[in-house]
DNA sequence: ATGAAAGCGCTAACAT
DNA sequence: ATGTTAGCGCTTTCAT
């Protein structure tokens, strides 16, 4: 910048004004400065600018468990779309359910002076963020409610969604309904289990623990479904409370020729679920909506909103495509 | 930092040493400084640090056309995984085939002093990056070769992949093979068309322009397929050179009850393509591999590699799942 | 082993 | 309308 000033024969401040489109520079001078900048290949340094201004960096971060899945991709797209028109750029990374990584990443992001954070927490407690928030850092949780921390969040109603799914199966005549879900250490898995149990109890169906399985990988879910179907008194319907579980179950059902015999309802939508036969009935949430709402909440905080934290619980919807409308045999 | 120094009763430099884990501080002092930092809630400011050091920011960016699609998600995941263990964070955004947006984003990223860029170019020429690269900015193109710019790139062999797909259909007895692809303004679409034409010509089959359709949306592809099948002399096989085209075609074929009559081979894999009936035969590339290779090339440049640009052309593979092995109904 | 002073690139506050 | 000075938070000399 000094070089540009020298070449244009003006002061530093004048160059600064031109670069920042500030008023109060004669167009003749502005032109001369522009030319000098171009000639020297001058590039404005936003880091230095922000340092002096003591202002925001115009950067936020998105922390999800796995950047490669559909849900994260839609989320990121929506957040970037929403924030970029407001002048922000978005950093993102995967946490892989590792609490330690979450801490490390957050600490690094704070050192980078990221303005705010949208995150799907991996940790059991996010209390460690309290001092940062007090210092003006903005945080919005998504997918899972914050724990031991009072902050904005956007989640879907997992209990109600799971209850809907289970009720749907009950309404189609099923009484032996299995639950295949994520590990109970994952909060959403617990909520979905609760919805499942609620629905059964409301219908006067005893909860049979042998029909409840959990795991983390698609292979584990497939194995669980095989075991369930080999039971002396097997389930006539499956509620798979997670994407990978739904896929694993669909594969096993097809493999065993039971795709039109055993009912299946999954939580979270699957792309092209209508092209599969039978079409997969799912409880869906709208990741783009979650992203937009989270970005809006974050943006409000960045603009100084200091009212009580907002907790947004979005509804789920059921997409009936066939697999969930199968009635029990006999 | 000044406050920490004051509280610990040491100089600024000592705090700096402790914060950066530099040698030459007695552990007693270091402890005292740590405590003071904690007490004051001190957070290191990497922006200021980098400003003074004149060093890298440890930030790279990924520019794709659409962050929400599977390909981008896998790419981002692989790039983040590869770069984060090297101390980098990754910014990303969607360009939506808008050349102007590409320019604007790049200029903003340079002002932010991002160290490097991995991008799927939307523009017709990336010559504008030449001065930046000369000034030490690192750029790696993916999916599409750089145009009017000599830089590293990682692409797949679109011509060979399309040729394989077309040959596969020819080998199954087809002679009237339609091509449904992206607009010819997209470089990969041109390459895939070339592969299609090459294969036909090598087999002595005349290229019939009425069998070649292009578009941008799934709806447009579906409409194109409907038109093709309504032709007086309709194709017996479809080569859909893009994900959305494959889906659109699969939907129409199912709708018309022709899924087991008309052969279909698509370019780019589709998640759960094996669960669809018939399974979708596709020419696949490995987005995670593209991401890793691009990140490695970028990293080498960031470490000062100044040899000739490397152009990596990765092979594609065919996944036979049924739809592409249908023979013509004579 | 520790510290003082200068300066990274920029802009706020105050001149003129 | 333009320029001067100080300083953002840090690290690099170069002392001691």
Closest-approach nucleotide to residue B52, Cα vs C1': C8
Q: Quickly count: other Cβ atoms within 10 Å of residue B232's Cβ.
A: 5
DSSP assignment of A278-300 equals SBPEEEE--HHHHHHHHHHHHHH
Q: How far apart are alpha carbons A190 and A202 in whole angstroms?
A: 18
* Nearest nucleotide over every DNA/RNA strand to the A43 CA, judged by C1': C9
What is the side-by-side strand order in the sheet with B317-319? B212-214, B177-181, B237-240, B263-267, B281-284, B317-319
pLDDT digits 0-9 by tens, B1-57: 889 998 999 988 899 999 888 888 888 888 999 999 999 999 999 999 999 988 899
Query: Looking at the predicted structure, is the pLDDT value of residue A330 above 70?
Result: no
- Which of B41, B111, B254 faces A46 most closely, judged by CB atoms? B111
* Strand C contacted by B313 CB (< 7 A): no
pLDDT at B133: 95
Q: What's the whole-number average pLDDT of chain B? A: 96
> CA of A208, closest CA in chain B: separation in Å?
30
pLDDT digits 0-9 by tens, A222-238: 999 999 999 999 999 99
Comparing CB atoms, the residue among B67, B250, B271 nearest residue A77 is B67
| Bases along strand D below 7 A from a protein CB | 1-13
- In angstroms, the Cα distances linking A257 to A46, A251, A277, B27 are 61, 10, 12, 69
Provide the 8-state DSSP code for A206. Answer: P
Reported as a single tens digit per residue, the pLDDT across A64-121 is 999 999 999 999 999 999 999 999 999 999 999 999 999 999 999 999 999 999 999 9
Interface test with A, best of B21, B44, B53, B73 (most A CBs within 10 A): B73
Residues 276-295/B with CB within 7 Å of nucleic chain C are none
| Percentage helix, strand, coil for chain A under 3-state DSSP, each rounded to 5 | 45, 15, 35
Average pLDDT for A213-229: 98
Distance from residue A115's CA to nucleotide D3's C1', rounded to whole Å: 33
Residue B296 has pLDDT above 70, yes or no: yes
Contact A47 B272 (CB under 8 A): no
Q: Which residue is closest to D11 in terms of CA–C1' distance? A: B52
The answer to whether A248 touches A222, Cβ cutoff 8 Å, is yes
CA of B197 to C1' of C4 (A): 74
Q: Rounded mean pLDDT of A156-184?
A: 98
Tokens of B323: 């739809």
Q: Is the CB of A14 under 7 A from strand C?
A: no
Gap between the Cα atoms of B194 and B160, Å rounded = 9
Cβ distance B92 to A93 less than 8 Å, yes or no, reads: no
Q: What phi and psi, each to the nearest 5 degrees, are found at residue B95?
A: -100, -20
Question: Using one digit for the tens of pLDDT, what is the confidence trace for A273-328?
Answer: 999 999 999 999 999 999 999 999 999 999 999 999 999 999 999 999 999 999 99
Confidence at residue A28, expressed as pLDDT on a 0 to 100 scale: 85
- Do the chains contact at A67 and B57, CB–CB below 8 Å? no
Q: Do B111 and A44 touch (CB under 8 A)?
A: yes
The closest nt to B14, taking CA to C1', is C2
pLDDT at A55: 82
Segment A234-261, tens digit of pLDDT: 999 999 999 999 999 999 999 999 999 9
Q: How confident is the model at residue B303 (pLDDT cuts 50, 70, 90)?
A: very high
Task: For A2-46, write each residue's pLDDT tens digit.
Answer: 899 989 999 888 999 999 888 888 888 889 999 999 999 999 999
**Residue carrying structure tokens 């991008």:** B119
Q: Map tokens 């194995």 to a residue.
A: A223
Q: Which of residues 37-56 of A touch strand C (CB under 7 A)?
A: 43-45, 48-49, 51-53
Name the closest residue (CA) to the C1' of nucleotide C3.
B11
Which bases in strand C are touched by protein, i.e. have an atom under 7 Å from a CB?
1-13
Most B CBs within 10 Å: which of A16, A249, A272, as the mutation test of the B interface?
A272
Query: Which chain A residue is nearest to residue B39, measuring alpha carbons?
Result: A131
Shortest-distance nucleotide from B24 CA to C1': C1
Q: What whole-number percentage of chain A has pLDDT above 90?
A: 90
Strand C at less than 7 A from CB of B112: no
Q: For residue A153, give the H/E element and its range.
A: strand A152-156
Cα–Cα dist B283/B124, whole Å: 26
Q: Residue A127: enclosing H or E segment and its boundaries?
A: none
Query: Contact B47/A51, CB-based, under 8 Å?
Result: yes
B contacts of A63 (beta carbons < 8 Å): none
CB within 8 Å: B93 and A94: no
Percent of chain B residues topping a pLDDT of 90: 90
Look up the protein residue whose alpha carbon has the minimum distance to the C1' of D3: A11
pLDDT in tens, B192-242: 999 999 999 999 999 999 999 999 999 999 999 999 999 999 999 999 999
Mean pLDDT within B114-122: 98
pLDDT for the residue B23 = 83
Residue A69 makes CB contacts below 8 A (sequence gap 6+) with: A243, B73
In SS3 terms, chain B reads as CHHHHHHHCCCHHHHHHHHCCCCCCCHHHHHHHHHHHHHHCCCCCHHHHHHHHCCCCCEEEEEECCCCCHHHHHHHHHHHHHHHCCCCEEEEEECCCCHHHHHHHHHHHHHCCCCEEEECCCCCCCHHHHHHHHCCCEEEEECCCCCCCCCEEEEECHHHHHHHHHHHHHHCCCCCEEEEECCCCCHHHHHHHHHHHHHHHHCCCCCCHHHEEECCCHHHHHHHHHHHHCCCCCCCEEEECCHHHHHHHHHHHHHCCCCCCCEEEEECCCCCCCCECCECEEEECCHHHHHHHHHHHHHHHHCCCCCCCCEEEECCEEECCEHHHCCCCC
Report d(CA B124, CA A159) in Å as an integer: 50
Q: Check residues A198 and B8 and name the one with the higher pLDDT.
A: A198
Mean pLDDT of B255-261: 97
């Amino acid at each position: 910048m000094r070089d540009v000033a020298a070449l244009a024969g003006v002061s530093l401040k004048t160059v600064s004004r031109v670069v920042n489109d500030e008023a109060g520079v004669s167009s003749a001078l502005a032109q001369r400065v522009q030319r000098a900048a171009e000639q020297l290949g001058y590039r404005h340094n936003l880091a230095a600018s922000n340092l002096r201004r003591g202002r925001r960096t115009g950067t936020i971060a998105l922390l999800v468990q796995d950047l490669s899945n559909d849900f994260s991709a839609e989320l990121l797209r929506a957040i970037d779309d929403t924030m970029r028109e407001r002048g922000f750029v978005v950093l993102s990374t995967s946490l892989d359910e590792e609490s330690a990584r979450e801490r490390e990443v957050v600490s690094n992001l704070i050192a980078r002076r990221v303005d705010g954070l949208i995150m799907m927490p991996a940790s059991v407690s996010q209390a460690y963020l309290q001092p940062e928030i007090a210092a003006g850092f903005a945080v919005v949780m998504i997918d899972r409610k914050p724990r031991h921390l009072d902050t904005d969040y956007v989640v879907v109603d997992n209990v109600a969604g799971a209850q809907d799914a289970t009720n749907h199966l009950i309404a189609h005549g099923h009484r032996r309904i299995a639950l295949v879900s994520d590990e109970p250490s994952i909060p959403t898995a617990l909520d979905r289990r609760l919805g499942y149990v609620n629905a059964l109890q409301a219908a006067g169906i005893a909860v049979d623990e042998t029909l409840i399985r959990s795991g983390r990988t698609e292979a584990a879910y497939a194995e669980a479904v095989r075991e369930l179907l080999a039971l002396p008194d097997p389930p006539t319907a499956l509620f798979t409370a997670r994407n990978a579980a739904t896929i694993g179950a669909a594969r096993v059902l097809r493999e065993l020729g039971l795709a039109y015999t055993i009912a299946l309802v999954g939580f979270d939508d699957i792309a092209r679920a209508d092209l599969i036969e039978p079409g997969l009935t799912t409880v869906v949430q709208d990741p783009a909506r979650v992203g937009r709402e989270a970005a809006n909440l974050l943006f409000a905080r960045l603009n100084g909103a200091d009212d009580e934290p907002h907790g947004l619980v979005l509804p789920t919807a059921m997409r009936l495509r066939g697999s969930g409308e199968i009635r029990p045999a006999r």
